[in-house]
A and B are shown apart, each in its own frame.
Chain A
Amino acid sequence: MSIIVNHVNYIYEEDTAMAHPALIDINLQIPEGQFIGLIGHTGSGKSTLIQHLNGLIKPTSGEIFYNNQDINEPGYNKKVLRSQVGLVFQYPEHQLFETDCFKDVCFGPKNMGLPKKEVELRAYTALKQVGFEDEYFYQSPFDLSGGQKRRVAIAGVLAMKPEVLILDEPTAGLDPKGREDILRLISDLHAKMRITVILVSHSMEDVADYVDRIIVMNKGRVAFDAPPKEVFAHYRELEEMELAAPQVTYCMQDLAAAGFDVDTSVTTLEEAKKEILKAFGKC
């Protein structure tokens, strides 16, 4: 149960004067159950890459395997693939169309051809999973706040019970509280349902606390692919890619440079606090 991306290249508008490569020789292995952060500056090819993973875009060259099967082979059932590799687009609330939230969440499982009871059960469970209150179930999705709409849209994908959940910049355009809520929700989903999660973001700060592995994209290539600690150690190179390591990394680097004996590889605020207290001999 895994995704393998093998030497994938992709060129947009291939046979026009506007042709430009968006992905260059991408190789990745995504085993089951990982929580992965896919990071890159705007235009680095993150959205293009994830649309390959559920077969919405066909690579110009190279292959993508899901459970050891080439997904672009003729005869491969893409509809089933898309229910297994759930993709939540950026600003997913823009895709809502039904008269009430519940019906909208039913759309995915209904397209899978499930019986009505099963569809409704899944929709109910999914809405509950994203922490949506019963009282809003039958409201028009257009009357909700931005954060709530986004939850409904995420539930719309969760209701298909995907084995891999991919979210494209799920925190874009939300206020700090909304960001925090959505990130915690995704982290909880990963912990409880044991599904593979790929979280796309352009901010290290977003993912540092949660993910097992970070893939950094730069100009269509994979620049780094390692656990957060190793990636943040390259904070100078990250800056050249117009990314930044989390504030904690900078703080610890400065402390170490000033002669304090601290571990510069910590990534979360909690770990940093411990390190600093230790260095000052308070614990």
Chain B
Amino acid sequence: MLRDITLGQYYRADSVIHRLDPRVKIVATFAFIISLFIVKNFIGYLIAGLFLAVCIRLSQVPPRFIFRGMKTIFFLLIITMVFNLFLTAGEPIFTFWKFQITKEGIKLAAMMGIRLVFLITGSSLMTLTTTPNNLTDGLESLLGPLKKVRVPVHEISMMMSIALRFIPILMEETDKIMKAQMARGADFESGSIINRAKNLVPLLVPLFISAFRRANDLAMAMEARCYRGGEGRTKMKPLIYKKRDFIAYLVIVLYLVLIVVMGRILFR
């Protein structure tokens, strides 16, 4: 159940996508998300879908694994689609009582649905193929220029990497505490909503205590090793662009050009 959350979980494999520089992957993900909002027609979505499919294929991550993350946004997806379906004004094709479904509504709902699914899939693919450490290193490097305007880039990326690092630990901990309470007869799966919420207390209290204990230990360990922020700190594995990274950038640019051009041609 808890293992369904793939966002922020790394899938170990040795693929081209895994080996790419994290900065490339972050830029590519952003470019992809932006492209989803530029696109206005189904040809565009087809191209985006193909691009995504090729990336997934190259990454060697089983698609099953990627779509597992979808379950968690399923409700959001349904709500978005329903709202778009019923609340879009236009040419009605189906009416009952106060509701009407319009042609524009169907089109918008479908587009929003596809957009959301692609968006989550794309960002899942990034987190699945990049270790949390690499991801924050990449982010820190990309946001580096903001240091000039006093944005604490290093601190933010450090907090992010710690947070990401703790997700699997906390999930494991949750699993353990859940089992320990189940061994004492706790029931997390049945009962009314209110009862279920109440039954979470024996899980949440130990979980919070353990999170605070871990945070405390980590702060102590960092201080013991003289951590004092990003100033003058060097990296053990500095990020260096390789040939494949430049090729990847080129592919991204080509992809964006293709999307824009297709939009132009079809809208002329």
User: B-contacting residues of A (Cβ < 8 Å)?
Assistant: 15-18, 51, 54, 56, 79, 82-83, 86-89, 92, 94-97, 107-108, 110-112, 142, 156-157, 160
Pairs across A and B, CB under 8 Å, 25 listed: A17-B13, A17-B62, A54-B183, A56-B179, A56-B182, A79-B185, A79-B187, A82-B184, A87-B183, A88-B183, A92-B180, A94-B176, A94-B177, A95-B177, A107-B181, A107-B184, A107-B185, A107-B186, A107-B202, A108-B185, A111-B186, A111-B187, A112-B185, A156-B184, A160-B185
Question: Is B65 a contact of A16 with CB atoms below 8 Å?
Answer: yes
Q: Does B32 contact A (CB under 8 A)?
A: no
List B residues 192-228 near A (Cβ within 8 Å): 201-202, 205-206, 209-210
Rounded to whole Å, the gap between the CB of B235 and the closest CB of chain A is 28
Q: With contacts defined as CB atoms under 8 Å apart, how many contacts are there between chain A and chain B in the complex? A: 65
Question: Is A94 a contact of B202 with CB atoms below 8 Å?
Answer: no
Q: How far is the CA of A110 from the CA of B206 in the complex (A)?
A: 19
Question: Is A89 a contact of B180 with CB atoms below 8 Å?
Answer: yes
Question: Is A96 a contact of B206 with CB atoms below 8 Å?
Answer: yes
User: A-contacting residues of B (Cβ < 8 Å)?
Assistant: 11-13, 62, 64-65, 176-177, 179-187, 201-202, 205-206, 209-210
Q: How far is the CA of A241 from the CA of B95 in the complex (A)?
A: 74
Q: Which residues of A contact B179 (CB under 8 A)?
A: 51, 56, 89
Q: 5 nearest interchain CB pairs?
A: A111-B185, A97-B205, A108-B184, A95-B180, A87-B183
Question: Is A97 a contact of B201 with CB atoms below 8 Å?
Answer: yes
Rounded to whole Å, the gap between the CB of A252 and the closest CB of chain B is 40
Query: Given that A96-B206, A97-B202, A97-B205 are known contacts, is A82 also in contact with B183, CB under 8 Å in the complex?
Result: yes
Q: Which residues of B contact A96 (CB under 8 A)?
A: 206
Rounded to whole Å, the gap between the CB of B171 and the closest CB of chain A is 13
Rounded to whole Å, the gap between the CB of A278 and the closest CB of chain B is 47
Query: Which partner residue on chain B sits nearest A153 by CB separation?
Result: B180
**Of B11, B177, B185, most A-chain CB atoms within 10 Å:** B185
- In the complex, besides A89-B176, A157-B183, 8 extra interface pairs with C-beta distance below 8 angstroms are A17-B11, A82-B184, A95-B177, A97-B201, A107-B185, A107-B186, A111-B184, A160-B184
Q: How far is the CA of A190 from the CA of B89 in the complex (A)?
A: 75
Q: How far is the CA of A97 from the CA of B198 in the complex (A)?
A: 13
Rounded to whole Å, the gap between the CB of B131 and the closest CB of chain A is 15
Q: How far is the CA of A110 from the CA of B186 in the complex (A)?
A: 9
Question: Is B206 a contact of A95 with CB atoms below 8 Å?
Answer: yes
Q: Which residues of B contact A157 (CB under 8 A)?
A: 183-184
Q: How far is the CA of A153 from the CA of B177 in the complex (A)?
A: 13
Q: How far is the CA of A180 from the CA of B185 in the complex (A)?
A: 29
